[in-house]
Chains A and B, each alone.
Chain A
């Protein structure tokens, strides 16, 4: 659309040294932001949570630095608040109805399921449009039909295949999300393989079974020693042991799966003419980080959360390199010019973050 955005001569894998992604924030700074966010959110009965979201994201995006330039989070608290009020409104209607009129609630849940693809798209659109690197915004161009198939229909059908289809469905979901992302006027391309998803899933399932067996033996030994029939207290002791152990194991397994999938996605993704990605996250190392994070959070009653989050983000950044191709300087933000004024008006009306999280 512009004469400057001619196809670049760079070939994939050319001799350009990759730039290291860096996270420059620290736990001490984030702890202050986090605790003040919580305090103000509680004092304002939740209203401040919109400002808290913006502040946290600005902190994390702004401390993510690539090639000397930081990322920006652009949403304003009012946009977040509007979206959240809309979502909470829906949620209020749903929880009141399902609490007092369970049958009507079940029907309402079905109707809400039809809204899910739209809400997912809207959430992705919003978070992409609010992300900027070097004055260029990201964008998401998904559609309702594909989102419906990938997020609702296929996961539902995978139940009937005893979840054997699930890794393939997860691959489709990731492919849908990533191939619809754009950086300014440049599309993202991904080539994902089902094989990688099956490999990761199989490993996690096998490890999970192994760990559960070991834990089962250990817990039954502990319970056998301390269990005193008729005394509920001892079963609560077992529960106190089970919950942290469960969190620890689940986090570790999550780490193993996520590290493999993240490496697969990033190593097979590129922004046309602009960038290629390299991710070398070591699964067992990442698993250890997530598991010890979970343990620290539980043991400190949540106080370790800022430290844990910063530690995780640092590990992710450290494992990521980006090869900036010569076209990186030539990207144009087509969002502003290309949208008709009507589309822009409409976008402003619905420019709210729909997702509840």
Chain B
């Protein structure tokens, strides 16, 4: 005999009752009167949850809930009890504690980049073209304004660019350079996926007397385009956000913070690796153009004073870039196999 509450179907009425369990059927009594009878096969037993009595739901929607929260019906399916046993198994909980960070790492740092790289390889050129053009429209509207350099200063940049592109044998119709004034970017250069490179007035001015340094930067940007870094970053972001959307279902804010910072970290690491790739590309091409890693190192060194003066506006750039000093050393030690 099990004491509990009997809930009437579709009503807020409740009766104190007790259930009597037979071999094949169950009966519910309230005030010594049988109010319900059913065969056991027509009874639905709720899933096991720690600290909650297992309730019975009958075919018409009536329910019986035992008072004893630890009570479990002898005829309950094994299946519903399995999860409850897993959740209170200390060994499994310890395993889960160890496995969770490992799985998160594998997912965010192995699987997601893997899928992103595959996505990049199958990306049609038309999409890359659109991606570059549409990004440029947005950037141009928001943070760029027309260049204030003199025609002569601009000409110097263009000439350097055309020479470099021609010497490397890259398609001239794909690679173009533009000069813009930008308060947002400061002294900076960036590449868009479809082969457009933007140099800011400030950078062009600062490096007017160091054409080799500017060329090193341009080669670095060409490296980003050639290795499709923007496309990879976009795929990366899209795949990561999809993965996070799938996972965050019920993990609340903590998981969001952990996953969010994980993917931010991933982005950072990803873009740091990309900078190295772009540097290596620049070094390789310099070699082909008859220059050495030393030239690149010197070019980078000419950026150092700029770095110190302008640490404010360079901070953004540096957070995604390896430190200048490391890059200079890397360039010095670079030997093409």
The interface of chain A, by Cβ under 8 A from chain B, is: 24-26, 29, 31-33, 35-39, 41-43, 45-47, 49-50, 52-53, 55-56, 58-59, 62-63, 68-70, 80, 84, 87-88, 91-92, 95-96, 99-104, 106, 133-136, 184, 229-230, 232, 235, 274, 297, 301-303, 305, 309, 328-333, 336-337, 356-357
> Given contacts A29-B88, A63-B52, A102-B134, is CB(A230)–CB(B83) below 8 Å?
no
A104 with B246: CB separation less than 8 A: no
A135 with B250: CB separation less than 8 A: no
Q: Considering only CB atoms, which chain A residue lies closest to B246 in the complex?
A: A46
B50 within 8 A of A: yes
Interface centre among A46, A100, A309, A357 (most CB of B within 10 A): A100
> Apart from A70-B52, A84-B249, what are 16 other A-B pairs with CB-CB below 8 Å?
A29-B87, A39-B100, A39-B103, A45-B243, A45-B246, A46-B249, A49-B249, A49-B251, A63-B52, A95-B238, A135-B8, A135-B62, A136-B10, A230-B308, A302-B257, A336-B10
B12 with A136: CB separation less than 8 A: yes
The residues of A that contact B49 with a CB separation of less than 8 Å are 55, 58-59, 62
From B10, B134, B315, contact of A104 by CB (8 A): B134
B51 with A42: CB separation less than 8 A: no
The residues of A that contact B257 with a CB separation of less than 8 Å are 302
| C-alpha gap A70/B53 in the complex (Å) | 10
| C-alpha gap A19/B243 in the complex (Å) | 44
> Given contacts A25-B51, A69-B14, A329-B12, is CB(A31)–CB(B93) below 8 Å?
yes
| C-alpha gap A49/B94 in the complex (Å) | 20
The residues of B that contact A47 with a CB separation of less than 8 Å are 246
Q: Can you sample 26 A-B contacts with CB below 8 Å?
A: A35-B93, A36-B96, A37-B250, A38-B100, A41-B249, A42-B99, A42-B247, A45-B107, A46-B249, A49-B246, A52-B249, A53-B250, A58-B52, A63-B52, A68-B5, A92-B238, A100-B231, A104-B134, A134-B14, A229-B311, A232-B315, A274-B12, A303-B97, A305-B252, A328-B12, A337-B10
- Smallest CB separation, A33 vs chain B (Å): 5
B12 with A103: CB separation less than 8 A: no
Q: Which 5 residue pairs across A and B have the least CB separation, nearest first?
A: A49-B249, A46-B246, A32-B87, A331-B12, A99-B234
B63 with A135: CB separation less than 8 A: yes
The residues of B that contact A297 with a CB separation of less than 8 Å are 254
| C-alpha gap A217/B247 in the complex (Å) | 40
B96 with A331: CB separation less than 8 A: no
The residues of B that contact A357 with a CB separation of less than 8 Å are 248
Q: Considering only CB atoms, which chain B residue lies closest to A232 in the complex?
A: B318
The residues of A that contact B99 with a CB separation of less than 8 Å are 39, 42
From B11, B47, B96, B243, contact of A46 by CB (8 A): B243
A69 with B131: CB separation less than 8 A: no
B247 with A41: CB separation less than 8 A: yes
When A and B form their complex, what is the total count of cross-chain residue pairs whose Cβ atoms lie within 8 Å?
191
> Given contacts A35-B100, A232-B318, A332-B11, is CB(A29)–CB(B134) below 8 Å?
no
| C-alpha gap A51/B33 in the complex (Å) | 39
The main secondary structure of chain A at its interface with chain B is helix
B241 within 8 A of A: yes
The interface of chain B, by Cβ under 8 A from chain A, is: 5, 7-14, 47, 49-52, 61-63, 65, 69, 83, 86-89, 92-93, 95-97, 99-100, 103-104, 107, 123, 127, 130-131, 134-135, 137-138, 231, 234-235, 237-238, 241-243, 245-252, 254-255, 257-258, 307-308, 311, 315, 318-319, 323
- Smallest CB separation, A243 vs chain B (Å): 9
From B83, B93, B97, B103, contact of A42 by CB (8 A): B103
A49 with B10: CB separation less than 8 A: no
The residues of A that contact B88 with a CB separation of less than 8 Å are 29, 32
From A24, A29, A31, A96, contact of B238 by CB (8 A): A96
B255 with A331: CB separation less than 8 A: no
| C-alpha gap A32/B292 in the complex (Å) | 60
| C-alpha gap A302/B258 in the complex (Å) | 8
| C-alpha gap A309/B92 in the complex (Å) | 22
The residues of A that contact B12 with a CB separation of less than 8 Å are 133-136, 184, 274, 328-332
- Smallest CB separation, B41 vs chain A (Å): 20
- Smallest CB separation, A109 vs chain B (Å): 13
The residues of A that contact B323 with a CB separation of less than 8 Å are 232
From B9, B137, B254, contact of A305 by CB (8 A): B254
- Smallest CB separation, B204 vs chain A (Å): 25
> Given contacts A33-B87, A36-B86, is CB(A53)–CB(B249) below 8 Å?
yes
